Structure 1
Amino acid sequence: MANDQDQINILLQKLEILLKKQQDFNIEVNEIRRDIQILKNTQALKFTEDSNKKFQEEPISKPIVETSKLIEPEITENPVQFKQTIDLNLNEPVDPPKKKSTLPKKKSNLEKFIGENLINKIGILITVIGVVIGAKYSIENNLISPLTRIILGYLVGLGLIGFGIKLKAKYESYSAVLVSGALAILYFITFAAYDLYALFPQLIAFAIMLLCTVFGVVAALNYNKQVIAHIGLVGAYAVPFLLSKDSGNITALFSYISLINVGLLAISFKKYWKALYYVSFTFTWLIYSYWFFFESDDYHNNFILGFTFLATFFTIFYITFLAFKLVKTEVFKVGDIVLILLNSFIFYGFGIAWLYNYEGGESYLGLFTVFNALIHFIITVIIFKRKLADRKLFFMTSGFVLSFITIAVPVQLDGNWVTLIWAFEAALLFWIGRTKKVTFYEYLSFIMVALAMVSLMMDWEQGYHWRNTSDVWSPILNTTFLTSLICISAYGFMTWLQFKTPSTKPSFVQNCMKICIPALFLGTLYLAIYFEIEHYWNNTFQASEINIENSIGNYPEYNYNIVDLESVWLIIYTMVFITALGLINNFKLKNKTLGIVSLIAALLTTFTFLTSGLYILSELRENYITQELAEFYNIGIYNIYIRYISFAFFAFLLFAIYKVAQKEYLKINYKIPFEILLHISIIWILSSELLNWMDLAGSNQSYKLGLSILWGVYALLLIALGIWKKKKYLRVGAIVLFSITLIKLFFYDISSLNTIAKTIVFVSLGVLLLIISFLYNKYKHIISDEVK
C-alpha cells in the first residue's frame, strides 16, 4: 500500500515539471509571434512610402491615384499568406476612374404597354359609356326625338368605323380598337331602336345586327385581331335574345346559332383563334341548357327538335376539335381533354334526359349509350387506319369507347353485375396504362375504381340490411361477399402492379393514387369481413324475436345480449386485422407508409378496447348476473369467458405495436412510450378484472375498496421497478397513480365506506406509502447516480 502511494507521488512530481515546461514554451512562442507582427507592420509601412514616391515621380498628365485608393495588404499571422497578398497587390493594374454614361434611358416596357395598348382600350370603353350615358340623359329629359337619338347614335358608330379604317394604314392596333368599339355602339343602338322605340320591325333589326356580326367577322379577318371577332361573337349570340320578345321560335333560334357556330368555328380554324372555339362552345351549351331546363316543358312535342339540335351542336364541336388535332397537328393538352369530355358527356347527359322524359324512351337508354360508344369507335378506327394523329388522341377516343361501354353496363344491368364489370375494367385499364405507358388509360382506371367503389357500397347497403329469418342467406357464400372479393382482387392487383412497375415521372394524380388504391384495397378487405360478421349477428338478433303477452297486449321482445356479443366480436376482429396487417408489413412488406398507418390504427384500436370494449364486457357480465328474460333465452357462462378471448387478442395487438414501433424507418424512441402504454393497459385490465370478480362475488365495494388497494399496490410495484431498472418515468408514473388513488380515497371512497372498510383502505395505502418512502431512502444513491 505504501509503495503504491510513493509511486503516485513520483508521477505527480513529473507531471508538475512537464506542465511548467509547457508554460515556458507558450511564453516563448508568444514572444516570437510579437516579433513577427512588428516586422510585418514595418514592411507594410515601407511598401506604402515607396508607392507614394513612385506616383509622385510620374508626369502630371496621368491621372493621380490617392494612396487611400490603394489596396492595403491584410496583416495576418501567416507570413506566407502576407507575401501572397503583397504580390497580388503589386501585379494588379490601377485604372483611371471612368466617367458615368450620360445616355438617355429607354422607355420601360410598362410605359410602352400603357401608352400604346392600355390607354386606347380604356378610351374606347369610356367613349362607349359616354354614348350610353348621353343617350340615357336625352331620353330622360326629352331633349331630342327618338328618331334623332337613333340617327345620332348610328352616326357616332359609323363615324368611329370610318375614322378607324382611315387610321388603319399607320396605326393598325389603335384602329382595331376604334372599330370594335364602334361595333358595340351599333349593337346597342339597334337594340334601343327596336326594343325601346319600336322604330322598325323585328326582321329589320335582326338583319342590321346580322350585318354588324358579318362586318365584325370580316373586320377581324382583315385586321387579324381576335378582339373584333369576340365582340361580333358576343353580339351574334345576344341578337336572338335581344330581339325575341318571347316569340318562342326555338327552331329559328337554334338554326341561327348553328349557322353562327359553323362560320365562327371556320374562322377560328383558319386563323387558329382557339379562343373563339371556347367562347362559342360555352355560349351554345349555356343557351341550350337554359332552354332545356326552363323553357322546354313539353318534352314529348319538343323531343325531335331538342334531340336534332343536340346532335348538331355536338357534331359541330367534335369535328372542329378533331380538325384542330388532325389538320393543325396540335399538341395534346389537359384543356383539350376537359373540353372534349365536356362536349361528349353534355351530349350524352341531355340525350339520356330526353329519353328518360319521353314516353317509352327508358327502354332505349342502353342503346343510346352503345351508340355513343360506336361514334367514338368509328373515329378511333379512322385515326388508327390512316395514322392521322399521335397516340394520345387515339388512346383518348378509344378511352371514350370504353367509357360509354362502361356506362352501358348499369343502364342495362343492375345489382352486383355492375360492380363486377367495373372492377374488372378498372384493373384491365390500369394494367394497359401502366405496362404500355399510356397515362390516359391510367386516369380512366382511376375513374373506374371510384365508380366500382360507389357501386360496391350500394351493394353493401342493399345486401346487408336487416333481413327476416325467412330470407335465405349464407355467411361467406353469398353474392354480396363474393362481389366484395372480386373488388378486393382488382384493387389488390392494381396495388401489386403499382409497386412492381413504378412510373418513371409520376404526376400528382398518380402519386395520390399510389396511396389511395392500397387504402381502398385494405379498406374494402376490412369492411367486407366486418359487414359479414355484423350481418350474421343482426340476423341472429332478428331470429330471437318472440311475442310476449301481458295485460296490455302482445309486443315483440328480442335478446339484447346478442347486440353486446356482436360489438365484442367486431372489436376482436378489428384487433386481429390490425395485428395481422402490422406483422405482415413488419416482416414481409416493410413499407414505411403502411407501417405508420398500422401503428396509428393499432393505437386507436387499443384505446377503443380499453374504453368501449371493456365496458361492453362489463355489460355482458351484468347480463349473466341478472339473467334478464332467462325464461326465454339462454345467457350462459359464455358471457364471462369471452373476455379472456378478447384479452388474448389484445395481447397480440400490443405485441404488434411493439414490433412495428421497432422499425428504423419510423425514427422514434419507442421504448418509453410503449412501456407507458403497456403499464396503462395492464392496470386498466387488472382494474376491470378486479371489478369483474368482485361483482361476481356480490361485493358492493368494488369501485371503492378494491380499486384503491389495487392502484396503490401497482404504484408500489412501479416504484420498485423504476428503482431497479433506473427508469425515472416509471417512478413518476407511480407517483401520479398514487396521487389519483389518494384523490379518489378522500373525495369518493370515504363518503360511503363503513368503518372497517375505511380502516382497511387507509392502513393499506399508508403502509404502501411508507414502503415507497423507504425504497426512495434506501436506494437514493441509485437514483442520484441515474440523475447524474
Structure 2
Amino acid sequence: MFTISSLLPYLKGKLFDTKHIILYIAQNFYFVAIGILSYTHYYTSFISIAPFIAMVTNFIVLGLTYRKDGVLNNVSLSLVIAWVTLCIGIEFDAHVIPILWAIQSTLLLYLWRRLNNPIFKVGFIALVPFFIISLCINWSNYIFNETHYALIFNPIFTSSSFVFICSIINIYLIKDFQDTERIFGFNLYSAKNIFSIVSILFMYLGLLFEIIYQTDKYFSAHFVAGIALLYSIYFISIILMFNRAFNINTYTKYSLGINNFGLMLIYPLIIQIHSEILLENQPLSYYIFYLLYVIPFGYFSYQFFNQSEFRLLKKNQFNQWFVFIVSAFIISYELFNFYMIVSTSRNDLQTFNHHETIYRMVILPIVWAIMGFALINFGYRKGEKNLPLMGFGLFGLIVIKLYVIDVWEMSNGLRVISFIVLGMLILLTSFMYQKLKRVFNQLFEAQDEKKGES
C-alpha cells in the first residue's frame, strides 16, 4: 500500500516531486527495517529476504520507468544498488544498522547529485550523527563482547568494510559541497572539509579496531601499539598522497603531515626493536617488518626539502625545526638499531649494554657531526636559511652531550683534557659561526634580490 501510494504521481502520468521521492525512500527503509526485525524474530535462515523483496520491487519499478520518468528511474536504481549491498552484508553476518546508515548516506548524496535538490544534502548532514553513534556501538563489540571473531569474515569487520566502501563513494560525492553549507538555519563552515574528514575517520577507525583486535592475541601490548602506529602512518601517507581526491583543505593537509612525522617519532620508541630481537628472541623478520615505516619517512622528508608542494609548510619555523628534529632522531636511532642487531649476540646482556654505551659515547657524536656538515652544505647549495642553523645546532648538541652527560663517565684525567678541548671548540665554533654567518647572509641577500627582480 505504501509503495502504491508513493507511486501515485507516476500512475497518474505525472512526474515525481520531492515529497513523493522522500515518501518512496522512507517506505522502502521502513519496510526493510521492520521486515528484518519481524523475520528474525521467527526465523534464522535467509534473513535478507526483506531487502531482497525491496530490491525486486525496485527493479520492477526501474524497468517500468526506463526512459519515462528520469527522477523515479534514478531513485529506483539507487535503491536497487542499496538493497543488493545490504543483502550481501546480511548474508555475511554483518551488523545491519551501520550498513543501513551507510547505504542511506550514500543514497542521499547520490540523489542530491542527480536531482540537484538540496533537501537530500540536508538529510545527509542530519544523518551523520546517527551514523557515528551506530558505528561506535558496532565497534564497542570489540571491547565488551567476549565472542571470539574470525580474522576477516566477522560481523564487525564486514559491516566496517561496507562502511569503508560507502565512505569512499561519499568522499567522491562530497566534492561538490560548498565551503559553507546552511543547515537548519545555521551556517556550517568548511562543510566539504568536515564531512570528508568524517568519512576518512570512518575508514581509518574501522580498520584500526580490527587490526588491534586481531593482533592483540599474538603480540605484546607495545608491539600491538607499534603495528597500530605503522598502520596509521601508512593511512595518513595515502591520504596525503591523494589529498585532492579526498577533498581536504590546505590546513588539514599540513596538519596531517606534521602529525605523521610525530607518529614516526613515537613509533620506534614504542616498539624497541633491538630489545625485541636481542633480548626477547623475536625472529629477524620482525626487523624487516618494523623498517616499513622508513619508506613513508624517506618519501615525505624528500618532499618536504625538495618539492614546492610543501612550500607553505616550510615557511613555518616550528614545522621546519620539528621535521628536522624528527629526521635527526630517526636517522640516529635506526643506525643504533642496525649497529646493535649486527654486532650483538642474543641474550648477552653484558655485551648489549657495552655496545649501547659505545654507540652513545662514540658513534652517535660522529653521526651528528656528519649530519651537521651535510645540513650546512645542503643549506648553502639550496639557499635554505634554517638548514645551516640546524647543522650548527647539531654541533652544539654534541658539545652539550659530551660535557653534561658523557664527561661524568670519564676518569679525572680525561675530564681535565675534555674541558681544555671544550674551550678550544667553543672558540673555534664562535669564529666559524661569525665568519660563515657573513657568508650566508650575503648569499641569501643576493638570492632574495634575484627573486625580487624576477
TM over 0.5: yes
1:492 aligns with 2:146: no
- Match of 1:730? 387
Distance apart, 1:597 and its partner CA: 2.0
- Spell out, residue by residue over 1:513-572, the C-alpha distance to the aligned partner (whole angstroms, 9 max, x if none): 53343223211222222223222211324xxxxxxxxxxxxxxxxxx3xx3332222222
Deviations 1:719-745 (A, max 9, x none): 455556665423333444444444444
Residues 722 and 728 in structure 1, CA contact (< 8 A), matched pair in contact too:
yes
**Which of 383, 396, 405 is matched with 1:748 structurally?**
405
Post-superposition Cα deviations, 1:162-205, rounded to whole Å, max 9, x if no partner, equal xxxxxxxxxxxxxxxxxxxxxxxxxxxxxxxxxxxxxxxxxxxx
The alignment's TM-score, normalised by the length of structure 2, stands at 0.65
Does the Cα contact within 8 Å between 2:122 and 2:183 map onto a contact in 1? Answer: no
Residue 279 of structure 1 is matched in structure 2 by none
Matches within 5 A, 1:323-722: 401=27, 404-405=30-31, 408=34, 412=38, 416-463=95-142, 471=148, 473-475=150-152, 477-499=153-175, 507-508=182-183, 514-541=192-219, 560=220, 563-585=221-243, 589=245, 591=247, 593-610=248-265, 612-618=266-272, 620-627=273-280, 634-655=281-302, 662-663=308-309, 670=315, 676-689=321-334, 691-692=336-337, 693=339, 696=344, 698-699=354-355, 701=357, 702-704=359-361, 706-708=363-365, 710-712=367-369, 714-719=371-376, 721-722=378-379
SS at match of 2:276: helix
CA positional deviation for 1:615:
1.1
Measure the CA separation in 1 of the matches of 2:309 and 2:374. 30
* Cα offsets for 1:597-649 (capped at 9, x unmatched): 23211211211221x2121233x32233333xxxxxx5233454444333233
CA-CA distance at 1:690 after TM superposition = 5.1
Per-residue CA shift, 1:22-49, capped at 9, x if unaligned? xxxxxxxxxxxxxxxxxxxxxxxxxxxx
CA distance in 1, matches of 2:386, 2:246: 31
Identity percentage of aligned residues? 17
Give me the whole-angstrom Cα distance separating, in 2, the residues matched to 1:443 and 1:410.
27
Q: How does 1:93-492 map to 2 (within 5 A)?
A: 401=27, 404-405=30-31, 408=34, 412=38, 416-463=95-142, 471=148, 473-475=150-152, 477-492=153-168
Residue 493 of structure 1 aligns to a residue in which SS?
Answer: helix
Change (3 A) 1:461 1:770: same
Tell whether the 8 Å contact from 1:481 to 1:528 is kept in structure 2 after alignment. yes
> CA separation in 2, counterparts of 1:675 and 1:504?
29
**Structure 2 partner of 1:139:** none
Q: Is the 8 A contact 1:582 1:657 kept in 2?
A: no
Q: CA–CA distance in 1 between the matches of 2:382 and 2:115?
A: 60
Contact 1:416 1:480 in 2 (8 A): yes
Q: Which amino acid aligns with 1:616?
A: I
- Structure 2 vs 1, CA of residues 781 and 601 (structure 1 numbering), >3 Å: closer, same or farther? closer
Evaluate the alpha carbon distance shift between residue 497 and residue 686 of structure 1 in structure 2; reply closer, same or farther with a 3 A threshold.
Answer: closer
Matched residue pairs, number?
A: 375
Local SS of the residue matching 2:151? coil
Gaps of 5+ in 1: 1-373, 542-559, 628-633
Structure with higher Rg: it is 1
2:368·2:394 contact (CA, 8 Å) conserved in 1?
Answer: yes
Please give the alpha-carbon distance, in whole angstroms, between the structure 2 residues aligned to 1:607 and 1:728. Answer: 23
What amino acid sits opposite 1:752 in the alignment? E
Specify the code of the residue in structure 2 equivalent to 1:753: M
* AA matched with 2:182: S
- Structure 2 residues without counterparts, runs of 5 or longer: 41-92, 345-351, 446-454
Q: CA deviation at 1:383?
A: 9.4
* Distance of aligned partners of 1:705 and 1:507 in 2 relative to their CA distance in 1, 3 Å threshold: same
Where 1:679 maps in the other structure, the secondary structure is: helix
Secondary structure, in 3 states, of the residue corresponding to 1:539?
Answer: coil
Paired with 1:764 and 1:713, the residues of 2 have a C-alpha distance of 20
Mapped partners of 2:180, 2:12: distance in 1:
31
Cα 1:699/1:409, change in 2 over 3 Å: farther
Q: Which has the higher contact order (CA 8 A, sep 6+)?
A: 2
Secondary structure of the equivalent of 1:635?
Answer: coil
Inter-CA distance 436–534: structure 2 relative to 1 (3 Å threshold): same
Aligned-residue RMSD, C-alpha: 4.4
- Return the alpha-carbon distance in structure 1 between the equivalents of residues 103 and 432 of structure 2: 68
Task: Give the SS at the match of 1:585.
Answer: coil
Comparing 645-654 and 693-702, the one that deviates more:
693-702
C-alpha displacement of 1:574: 1.6
Matches of 1:699 and 1:570 in 2, distance apart?
Answer: 30
Instruction: Name the SS of the counterpart of 1:507 in structure 2.
Output: strand
8 Å contact kept, 1:709–1:764: no
Give the 3 Å change call, closer, same or farther, for CA 766–570 of structure 1 in structure 2. Answer: farther
Instruction: Provide the C-alpha distance between the structure 1 equivalents of 2:291 and 2:390, rounded to a whole number of angstroms.
Output: 27
Q: Is the 8 A contact 1:624 1:635 kept in 2?
A: yes
Contact 1:599 1:657 in 2 (8 A): no
Distance across 2 between alignment mates of 1:635 and 1:407: 50
Query: Residues of 2 paired with 1:706 and 1:427: CA distance?
Result: 57
Going from structure 1 to structure 2, the CA distance change for 1:763 and 1:526 (only over 3 Å counts) comes to farther
Query: 1:636 aligns to what SS in structure 2?
Result: coil
Tell me the amino acid that sits aligned with residue 750 of structure 1.
V
